Chain A
Amino acid sequence: MLFNSFSFFIFFPVVVFLYYIVPAKWRTLLLLMASSYFYMAFVPKYILILFALITADFFLGKYIEGAVGVRRRMLLIFSVIANLGTLFVFKYFNFFNENIAALAGWLHWNYSPLLLTIILPLGLSFHIFQSLSYVIEVYRGRHPAERSYLAYALYVMFFPQLVAGPIERPQHLLPQLHLTHKLDFGNIRRGLERILWGLMKKIVIADNLAAYVDQVYNYPHNYSGPVLLVATIFFAFQVYCDFSGYSDIAVGSARVLGVELSENFNRPFLSLSMAEFWRRWHISLSNWLRDYLYYPLALKARGNARFRLSWALFVTMVLIGLWHGANWTFVVFGALHGTYLVVGQFTKNARERLAGWVGLTKIPRLLRTLQAATTFFLASIGFLVFRANSLSEAIYIFTNALSGTFRLVGETVSAFGQFSLSPFVNLISSLTLEGAGRRQFVFFWALIILFFLLDKKAASENEMDIFRGRKAWLRWSLYIIAALCIMNLGVTHEIPFIYFQF
């Protein structure tokens, strides 16, 4: 069941209604049943895998808590193997085998790979990481093992964040699942506002941009450099609006039920460096890998401190890439970001000195704009690799989009120089796809600009959505405008959330 589907619009109010009318002791069971139904709307049989992992981790958590020394460690390893093994079988087995076969072929060895014909369970990477978080925290003694099977199952399966996060920690979510949440209209209002804003991002912005992006990225050789460049910029906004839109709906839905989920995004396109970008983008995953991978790696690696940190950072980023999917494009995506961060660390002082030397530090607004633009440019290269169907296509798109940038800048400057509207019309026409009009292209840009301004405005007011803290009449007008946009400006074919595949 997708958040942007009619079924969810029926399912959610029914669950909320039942949740607040049943006695408190039945609420966990009710939410668990609702979450199971929500999950089973995709591939019903996969719920068995989920429950097998839930059962294993629930009991392992208890045993880990009671064990000491090597036994405690062995139980943790067992849980990690069970979770990551499941992830490997469903997500990475075929990728691994195909690459072994390719290597064997290169060495002239006869190896026919065994390929599994299975569908990846929805959101597997998310709930496996959430389960691992639980057992690791219990192992580290930072959270007691959960006594209630139902509460633990709900911790893994809580439907708002079941298939695409945010990846929660037991300390944050489990205690909330034990509380009795009273009907609070403030929560309901704020939750519904977040849902509305999330739907707006997904349905109005991301899905519309997807039409352009998909056409170009599926047939990149048919398009000119400037079109590839525009598609790449569109994809950056598409993936952001798609995923942060999902997160908004997840946070909002949980809020209506009285549960507060972690924030997953904090306006990453306003970041001034790539390090800051990763503190603002998919925050729950970055924090997860920081706590459970980066810190242990940095502590255990040999060599001087700077090398250890860089090495740990690079490995963490490669694994972030691989977490997204079993494809070399994701590995390169991770490695590219790892390189950005490592190089960023090494050049931090030099960049600051350079900015001071050219006088940019005296014009902080310009400096910040340049930093944000550079960060967006670097992030877009990452998104290009992320979206490309293969590495060779990524290289093709990158080289052509780069030359397209110069062409586009040249054509724009020349259009300005002619003091006439027609060069601009011709320029827009050259960027318009076959079958789509100039009006649609301008509409896409209008969406991006409007979204960017709203996002920036909300950031300056330190609000997570645009509806908060305004006068009642303005807020209600915004609600209705947003709802009308969702009802009339979306696309009518199904575009699943991008992060559902992970």
Chain B
Amino acid sequence: MKNFFLKFLAGIVALILLQVLIARYLTPLPEITLINKNLADGARVLFFGDSAVWHHSIGDKDPATLPEMLERETGIRVGNQGHPAYHLGVYAAEVDYLAHASVKPDAVVIPIQLRSFSPEWDMRPVNQFEKELFFLTDRTRFISYFYKPLAILRAINVNTVSYTQFLETPVYSGDTKVGTVNDFEALNKNKAATFDNIKGDFVYKYMYRLQPNHRKLAALDRLLATAKDAGIKTYIYIAPIDYETGEKYVGKEFTATAKANADYICELLKERGAPCLNLALGLPSKAFDYPSYPNEHMNELGRKYVVSELVKFYFKK
């Protein structure tokens, strides 16, 4: 009996050790590796964000990303932490990770994408980033090594929003319900760039009215509190959107809704004692890529504008 249990125990210990090795060296979380690399490289500012942060257009003379431009303008080492479809929930977790790291940056730049509050982004199952949130907020730094087995055995929920839930989420234009995600997703698939389709896309992605109980706002609250406690400055800006195209398809109410939502976020930031750089309506249509598709991907003109505004607002004070 003793022999059996000893062998069993030895097997379990060997299994745990090998799992730690696999998780640590074969399948580490790229985001954590990147944060650690940026900090090890001496980055004093970390630039969070989604694909808009590192996107550049084909015609750009200067293909530099936003963090590269910011580094050039300020002379401060800026680390690029951009990742497609990231949002305030992940930024809050990243700041939380930084707050517990041995080396901390002086500041983090947080772009707020208005589209990230829409059901199209907020509720999309693949945009929930359960794995990233789990790794970033794991205080023990040990349980994360067992993330995959725990997820396989469903000890942790890695499908926080089901596809059915996503499709059933209501879509609003202002206060009026205009359908569910299903209606707009169907429109999204292989759609032709017709007037109605593009209009539908703009409504789907921007025409919600921001509510105080939105989970992304709660994430923003957490982010601010954590950064403050850790002594990390937060340089927050509301990212520009192509409001001219939006207005062309949806009408004047597009700009009004976007402005109202951006103002609402700024009010909230002010209440928390954080400055707000509102660039939502700061750029004309020609500063964006893909004119018939609502997005925030900027060309060189747009990126230069954002960086100059950031420098003026946060770095020259």
Contact = CB atoms under 8 A, between A and B. Distances in A.
Interface of A: 4-6, 9, 183, 185, 188-189, 203, 476, 479-480, 483-484, 486-488, 490-494
B101 interface: no
Interface in B114-155: 146, 148-155
Contact of B19 (A6, A188, A476, A484): A484
Contact of B154 (A6, A483, A488): A6
Given A6-B150, A486-B149, A492-B159, 5 more contacts: A484-B15, A484-B18, A490-B149, A491-B152, A494-B154
Contacts of A188: 4
A487 B148 contact: yes
Interface residues of B, number: 21
Given A480-B18, A484-B19, A488-B27, A493 B11 contact: no
B1 A185 contact: yes
Nearest to B4: A185
Q: Give 8 nearest A-B pairs by CB, closest first.
A: A6-B155, A490-B152, A487-B149, A6-B153, A492-B151, A185-B4, A492-B158, A488-B148
6 contacts: A4-B152, A476-B11, A484-B18, A487-B146, A488-B22, A488-B27
Given A6-B150, A185-B4, A488-B149, A480 B15 contact: yes
Interface of A is mostly: helix
B153 A9 contact: yes
Interface in B10-44: 11, 14-15, 18-19, 22, 27
Interface in B46-94: none
Contacts of B14: 480
Residue of B150, B151, B153, B159 most packed against chain A (CB within 10 A) = B153
Nearest to A10: B155
State the majority secondary structure of interface residues on B.
Answer: helix
Contacts of A5: 153-154
A203 B152 contact: yes
B198 to A, nearest CB: 25
Contacts of A189: 4
Given A185-B1, A493-B159, A487 B11 contact: no
Given A484-B18, A487-B148, A488-B148, A4 B153 contact: yes
Interface in B151-199: 151-155, 158-159
Given A185-B4, A203-B152, A493-B159, A479 B22 contact: no
B152 A486 contact: yes
Contacts of A183: 1
B11 A479 contact: yes
A492 B4 CA distance: 32
Contacts of B22: 484, 488
B25 to A, nearest CB: 13
A303 B275 CA distance: 93
A480 B11 contact: yes
A494 B151 CA distance: 10
A43 B146 CA distance: 30
Find the residue from A6, A486, A491, A494 having the highest chain B CB count within 10 A: A6
A491 B151 CA distance: 8
A4 B155 CA distance: 11
Contacts of B151: 492
